[in-house]
Amino acid sequence: MVQYIALLRGVNVGGIVIRSVELRELFQEIGLHEVRTVLASGNVAFAASEDADRTMLKQRIERALGDRFGYDAWIVLLTRVELEAIVAAFPFDADREGWHPYVLFGSDEAHLDELAADLGELDAVDDVVERGHGVLYWHNRRASGIGSAFAKRTARARYKPTTTNRNLRTLQKLLA
């Protein structure tokens, strides 16, 4: 069995409400094992057979989510090993008082590159961002929150269909 992590985009915001118990049941119904949800924001750890085709697995999960909950589902699908590497590579002091440690995942490398462009324009008092492998690492001062320049950049409509953001602590809970 291979351990996977699925990060659902847009769940429990904007009218798409999926309870953790329903999410866990759906993953079990489509033949996945050791299913565990973390928090109420679309985070699922599970196991699948080693011979499962990853692209097909992602499509099967997205189709099942869309069919059951009536929305255009999109997920980030990572192996546990991949997520461990992403978490370990967080380049900032995750315990810095007054700051949120985030990882921004994307399905479109060009969008991640666009978001990472011109980082010199950001005020390091509020946001620091670094490009990682398939992700953007983002440290955001709590006091600025969603009003910061980078938060506003990531909230643009063009990035919503291809990105999802997670607090580093949530990712650590998924790995626990």
Q: How far is it, in rounded angstroms, from Cα 126 to Cα 103?
A: 16
Sorting pLDDT into bands at 50, 70 and 90, what band is 99? very high
**pLDDT, position 11:** 72
**pLDDT, position 13:** 63
Q: Tell me: do 78 and 97 sit in the same domain.
A: no
**pLDDT, position 14:** 66
What does the pLDDT look like over 107-148, one tens digit per residue? 888 999 999 887 767 788 889 999 999 999 999 999 988 889
* CATH code for the domain in which residue 6 is found: 3.30.70.1280
Q: Which domain holds residue 39?
A: 2-83
Q: Tell me: do 156 and 95 sit in the same domain.
A: yes
What element of type H or E holds 135?
strand 135-141
Distance of CA 126 to the CA centre of its chain: 21
Q: How far is it, in rounded angstroms, from Cα 6 to Cα 75?
A: 6
What does the pLDDT look like over 26-84, one tens digit per residue? 999 999 999 999 877 789 999 999 888 999 999 999 999 999 998 889 899 999 999 99
**pLDDT, position 121:** 76
* pTM recorded for the entire structure: 0.91
Domain final residue, candidates 48, 83, 118: 83
**143: three-class secondary structure by DSSP:** coil
User: Is the per-residue pLDDT at 12 higher than 70?
Assistant: no
Instruction: Quote the number of domains for the chain.
Output: 2
The amino acid occupying position 14 is G
DSSP assignment of 48-100, as one string?
E-TT--HHHHHHHHHHHHHHHH-S---EEEEEHHHHHHHHHT--S-TT-TTEE
